[in-house]
Structure formats: structure tokens, C-alpha cells
Chain A
């Protein structure tokens, strides 16, 4: 079958996207639609003494102006964080209250205090400007190292010293002993820069209240519509779960930013009830910079010890993480359970200890962004080992090889049991593809032109498909981490797959169809994927953390198992054969070794006409399944980046970027490579271009594409992508997940390459030309002395 597993099937969804027929949230328009515009704080920290909407209410087109006191008065609950973290002293995390519309205080620039509902978007925006808010400014703390200082301004009353939790993982005493015994200890202070996810489609929501049915419908840019419905009903009290339909139609990229429930969705739902109108809100890009959850923002001090042979004896990490002004849905899990358990990297390290302290600041909330915790861990581990290799005068590839995990399953001292891999082989593949052997000659040639060449590695591992639910629950997760699927074989033999995974660019409509086409040996065109609508799909946990392959597809496989069992029974009954002799192949269901056969569609028809089913069999051919994985899957890879730096300007060009990765079984190589390209581009963006900047007053200095540097085509090279497949034993397809690998693995490869080129390790992300130029000058004594 040409459209089955392992084939680069062209995407079924492309036709609507390339012809302008995609339907994103803002493309929908309801009858009786009004528009929302939010009144947002221009102060990073202030007491709200009063809101005067008199003038705004009298302006053209204005239907109503609603504020936080009305919202809380109607019983709308505070925004929650869904993962409870316990500090090492046993105390629960200090979660400050977050109302969708602020009442007493605002805590970041962009914090919403009121919403204007008007007939047109322009009228709503103009009236929002006319709402007068009486603020009394409070002292601001915008940077995490300031937030933890004695006497720092207090952001939430219940978080003394602005600390949210002080958490640890691993054995500190054993790690200290490992470091004490080390022949060499590498110490590194490292910053993971704050980023804005920037999916190209801005967030949008349309809420419709039907007063006759007391029913709500929400169109929203969500990666997980069922979770949105659950949280909106169970925690925010905007509508009962059975009276709320959430639809996430075509979604223009997520990257984590669309996992969470934001104030705007809550407010639009509530406002639709208050005004009895459909209420639409669409973010503009400036608003997105102000309100979409940011990512990363860690400061870390770490030590890694080595014995005389270069074997790692201990790894000790002290991280301070900025979680912004409020705790977003998954924010607490990112610097803890998505971060510290990855500190073993691809290495067999016996002693690891990771301490994480998180703090509030007067900035937009920080939450998971592509990779979520794993990029931060990988950046640290891979910068550390590269630095150590240079300090010890070793080849960085050789130091990695000496420490690689060699056998699987492998239990790390930080919770994880790695499933399968072949780290030496993958590194070798990358080295060959990158022509590492020829690098020194290329370096010399570049030097002859006055340019500095560098080569940097990153051999990374990540954990995908968060699992299992029981373990996650024991660690504080507020949700289960299974996925659901329904496989409907129609009476004409075509198949609909209803999945709780959500596609926002990953190509599920093609890859999910491929696994079905493979299983039942029918054309991929005969399979339709349904997702993103809580009224259609029974339940789902959505798409994030590269879970659609290892968890979402596995649920489909489990449902297909049930369908196949029934197909066998029907065919065996009809063809008067044993179930074990039935084979499903070439569009037919046949008895092996005979000419007895039914066409695939005849089985579907037989199930629905039900004229001749085995006694007691239910009619129909449709099965559902929930799949809860036994463990994470662990994609890994080796990235090699080669750069050339102009020492006069600091301008850095990526000459070649090579990836060799192991995503387990690959369903569609074309799509997998596309995911790698995109992830690597985001990683290069973090390494060289992107950074969210707040000034000391908490004003956002990077509030548009004029000042936040998004990677453009000319910033990117072509990527050389290699694959090696070691299937995961933790799910039926052996898939591991590929969506985040690039963003996880690329930053250290780039920075390791640039620091190799310029001969100094003192370089923080983003390595802009100015930053590189400064690093070169500070490293070069004759210049610095001038």
C-alpha cells in the first residue's frame, strides 16, 4: 500500500490551505455578532482604585462595558494552575489569585481590567481607550533575580519573597560526593532567554450564548478543546460542561501558546451571556506579545564533575525560574517535572541533583513553549559537556561517547526510564553527514578569508507523550494523560477517525489516515479525520508535548484492534471460516488459501444491514478506545551546527545544520522532516535572534515584529535531516514523537558552534551580531585594553 506507514504521503489538508479555504477562528462569523476589546493595564504593578466607563458606554456602537467586579460577582472563578508542586519542605506552592479581569490590582502590562462589547471591532477598540481607570502605581519587579532579593516589591500577598516554590529532584548528598571525588569540575552560569511563541495566527475566540437552551458555543484557537471545556466549566464556572461546546477549527500554529485557557476566552463566554450576543475577540500581534504566555526564562548555576577518564561523576543544578505575574495552566510543571528529569541527557550519570526555585515577577505569565522544560534542560546539559570537553582538552564528541547510555531500558537517577535508542550510531550518522572529518580544513580556509569557523554538537534526548496518568497524578498533575479515539467504519466501507488529538499544522489528517490505511489496506483517501470539536469527539486531551503520535495514534490503534476483531467475526461468520484464517488485504477480507472473500465495504454493509450477523452480535462497526501509555517515549538525536563568524561585525552565518534523529517508527518522513525543520528554526531563533525584553519598570520593549526578531528565510540554512529508527516499546506503533526535537536540540548546537568559532565561552543567547562582537572584544585582551 503506497499510502501506509513510512510513506511520504502528500498532505490531504493542503488543498484548503493553499486555496484560502482554511477556516480559522477569526474566519467564522456568527449571526448577531458583537466584538470585544479589552481595557488593559499600562502599568506593570498598580492598585486599581476605580474604573469609570461612563464615557465609553455612551460611545457609538457600544453595547456594554464589563469589569472584574461584575465578573467575580457572577461567580466566575479564578484562573487555575493545573499541576500542584510541593516544595522540598513539604509546603504547597504559593499560588496567587488570578481573575480573568483584575479587580484590586494589576500585575503586568496588559493585565485586563475591563472589556468593551460593541457592534464593530473598531468601535470596541475606540471605546476601550475611553474607559478611565484610576491606578495607584506600585513598585515594580520585572526581572527574576530582582524578585528574589530581600525587600523586593511583593506581587502576591500569599507568596512571601515572591517565591512560588523551592523544589528539588535527585540525591544531593550523593551528587556532592560525586563532585568532591571528581578529577575535573566544570562550572557554568547560564541563562535561558525569554521567548514569545508567536504562532502566526493570533489567538481568537467567538462565544455564543443561546438563552433558550442556556447553551454556550465557543470557537477558539485551542490545542486542546476538551481540556478547555473541562476547565472552563469545572473551575471557572462560565457554563456547565454539558451546556458548553468548544470548537477549535483550523488553528494557525500553537507551539504551546494555545494550550492554556486565557482570560479572554473566559470573558467572551461570560460576556456573551451578559449581552445575549455572540462576542468575538481577535488578538492583534501587539496584544499577543502582551498576553500570550511566554516561554523559558531561567537562570542556572551548575556544576558537572568528571573522573580522570572523562566519566561524569555528578551533576548539580541550581535553577531560578521566572513564572511571570500569575501561574498559568501548566507553568509549574515546566521548570520541574518537564525539566529536571531530563538532566541525565543521553548520558549514564549516577548522581544528579536539581534544585529549582520559581518566582513571580511583574511580567506576562510564563508557561510551556515548544519543548517546555526540555529545551532548558538540554541547553544546560549540552553546553556543560561541550564546555567540559574544551576545558579538559578532549574532543567533545569523544567525551559524549564515553558517557553515552549503552543499553535499554535505562533508569536515570531522576525518574526517567529511557525506552530505546542508539546514541553512538546516531552521533556517527550526524558526523558523517556533517563531514566533521573535513572541518579543520574548512576552518583553515575560512581563516584565510579572515573568518572564524566553529563546530558545535548537541546530543539530546527528550520525553514525549507525558505518561502514565497514574504516575503524573502522583507527581501533582491535575489531569490524566491518556488519549481517546473512535474508529467508525461506515456502511460503504469508508472510515472516520475521531481523535482527541488536535492538529494545528502537524498534518494529522494525513498521518492518522496513513495508520488506518496501513492497517485495513485501503486508500488513504477513504479515511477522514475528525477532531477539534467537543460535540463530535467523545473526549480528548489535545496536542502538546509531541503526544499525538505516541498517545493519540495509539488510541486509534487500540480502537482499530477492536474493529478488526469484529470484522474478523463478521467475515468468518459470512464466509464460514475460522476467525484466525481471515486476512485483511488489498481491499478485501478473505479466507487465507481460498477464493472465499468479501470486499472491505461488504463487511461494513453487513455490519449495518445486520441481516446475517453472528447470533448476539451488536450491529454496527464503530469502536472507541482510551489509551494510557505505560511510560513516556524518548526521542533523541545528534545535531551538528557549523557557523562562520565575521570578527569585524560579529555577524554569524550558519553554514550547515545537520540533524540525525531517532523518532522511533516514522509514519510520514516528509512530515517528520518538516517538523524537524520548524523546530530547528525555532531553536536557531532562540539561539541567535529572539528575546522578550522588559525594562526595569516592567514595560515590554519587544511588543511587535518591529522589535522582536522573528527568524526570516534569509536567517535559515537548508537543513540536512537524517533518521535512525529504534522503535519505542511503550506504544503499539513504536513511535516516539518529533514535534519538539528541533527546538530542544538546536540552541546548544548553535551556541557551542559560535563559542567554538570565537574562542570564548562567555556568550549568552541570543547571539546577535552585537553580542558576538562584544564577546570577541572582551575575549581579546589587546582590543579590550585599547
Chain B
């Protein structure tokens, strides 16, 4: 057992957890932040994507104890009063159906827009499709997810 302290969605949290605890388990079971979803056991699907120190990370691939002192944002912490433009864009463009992959898609989408903007690169639909390599959706055929991210990129 190790004591882990981190900032999650702007709040300091501290928990005593088994060393093998994944960040996804830490968020879901310790903090009851169930917006981070678990869709596979091989880090392939991306439903658990969150931001760690401002970069997208699959929460099922990181051990909580390795993130002592980290600043973590989950889907619950993305909206700051009003919905984030990425959340609005997913609603506007019908970028979700069952909603299970959606938190991971949104967190991945925000990260890719931020990176491309920081690097001054154009986030084309081809680039979005390439960037979504690590996120699986079974409902939408990706058509409207790509459109949602394109739309949000124009507004972020």
C-alpha cells in the first residue's frame, strides 16, 4: 500500500492504495469518478483516456502510485461552468451514440487540438483519423466523431 496524492479536476486528493492500482481504478473506485470508462484490458480502446499534466494518457496504462503529485483532469473536470467546446461539438455533430467511448474520445480530441494548435499545424480530417488510432468507437463509424473534433478545433 502506498499513499498517493494528486490533483484531480483541480482538487487535492490523497488515498492509501495497493501498489498495483491503475489510474483508471483509482479514479473509478477510490474517487468514484465513473466518467472514465474501461472498454478493454490491452490499452487498445481509449475509453479511459484522461489528461495527466496536460497530456492525454490512457488511465488503464498508468499506475496510480507512479503519478504522485500529478495534475489529472477527467471528463468530469473538463467543463468549467459551461461545457467545453469539444463537449458542445459532440452534441452538435451527433458524435456519440451509446456514449461509452465518448469521454475518451473527447479527452483525446481536446489533446489533439491543443497539440496541433501549439505546433501551428492544421488539424485536417485525415490527421484526426490518424490521431484517433488509439480510440475505438463501435457505434458511430467515426464519421461524426471526426466532424465533432474538426468543429471543436475551429472554436477552441
Contacts and interface: CB of A to CB of B under 8 A. Distances in A.
Given A200-B47, A712-B133, A713-B142, A674 B41 contact: no
Contacts of B11: none
Given A18-B87, A202-B39, A253-B97, A712 B132 contact: yes
A19 B143 contact: no
A565 to B, nearest CB: 36
A705 interface: yes
Nearest to B99: A17
Contacts of B123: none
Contacts of B83: 15, 18-19
Contacts of B61: none
Given A200-B101, A505-B99, A671-B94, A19 B138 contact: no
Interface string A674-705: 11011111100000000000000000000011
B132 A505 contact: no
Interface in A474-492: none
A608 interface: no
> B-side binding surface: helix, strand, loop or mixed?
loop
Interface stretch (A20-28, A453-461, A584-592, A768-776): A20-28
Contacts of B129: 713-714, 716
Given A11-B91, A19-B87, A678 B141 contact: yes
Contact of B141 (A252, A705, A706, A719): A719
Contacts of B42: 285, 704-706
Contact of A10 (B91, B128, B145): B91
A162 interface: no
Interface in B53-94: 74-76, 78-79, 83, 87, 90-92, 94
Contacts of B92: 10
Contacts, number: 184
A281 interface: no
B153 interface: no
A716 B143 contact: yes
Contacts of B103: 18, 20
A678 B139 contact: yes
Interface string A712-744: 111010110000000000000000000000100
Contacts of A704: 40-42, 44
B42 to A, nearest CB: 5
Contact of A713 (B40, B45, B87, B133): B133
B136 A705 contact: yes
Nearest to B131: A713
B14 interface: no
Contact of A710 (B20, B76, B130, B138): B138
B111 to A, nearest CB: 15
A713 B22 CA distance: 27
Given A14-B91, A200-B47, A27 B34 contact: yes
Contacts of B33: 20
Contact of B137 (A200, A251, A504): A200
B142 to A, nearest CB: 4
B156 to A, nearest CB: 15
B10 to A, nearest CB: 15
B96 interface: yes
Contacts of B38: 26, 202, 284
A19 B144 contact: no
A255 interface: yes
Nearest to B47: A200
Contact of B132 (A24, A506, A714): A714
B106 interface: yes
A109 B90 CA distance: 40
Interface string B93-125: 010111111110010000000000000000001
Contacts of A711: 141-142
A2 to B, nearest CB: 16
A671 B101 CA distance: 18
A713 B94 contact: no
Interface in A412-433: none
A537 interface: no
Given A20-B35, A678-B138, A11 B44 contact: no
A288 to B, nearest CB: 9
Given A252-B37, A706-B42, A504 B143 contact: no
Contacts of B39: 200-202, 252, 285
Contacts of B140: 674, 677-678, 681
Contacts of B130: 713-714
Contact of A505 (B75, B98, B128, B142): B98
A705 B40 contact: yes
Contacts of A122: 18, 20
Contacts of B41: 284-286, 704
A15 B44 CA distance: 26
Contacts of A20: 33-36, 74-76, 103
Interface string B1-39: 000000000000000001010000000100011111111
Given A17-B99, A20-B35, A505-B99, 20 more contacts: A14-B90, A15-B91, A17-B96, A18-B96, A18-B103, A22-B100, A27-B34, A198-B138, A199-B138, A200-B137, A201-B39, A202-B39, A250-B98, A284-B41, A678-B97, A710-B138, A713-B133, A714-B129, A714-B130, A716-B141
8 contacts: A253-B138, A670-B94, A674-B140, A678-B97, A712-B133, A713-B133, A713-B135, A716-B129
Instruction: Please list the 7 inter-chain residue pairs (A to B) with the smallest Cβ-Cβ separation, ordered nearest first.
Output: A20-B35, A17-B99, A252-B100, A505-B98, A681-B141, A705-B44, A20-B75
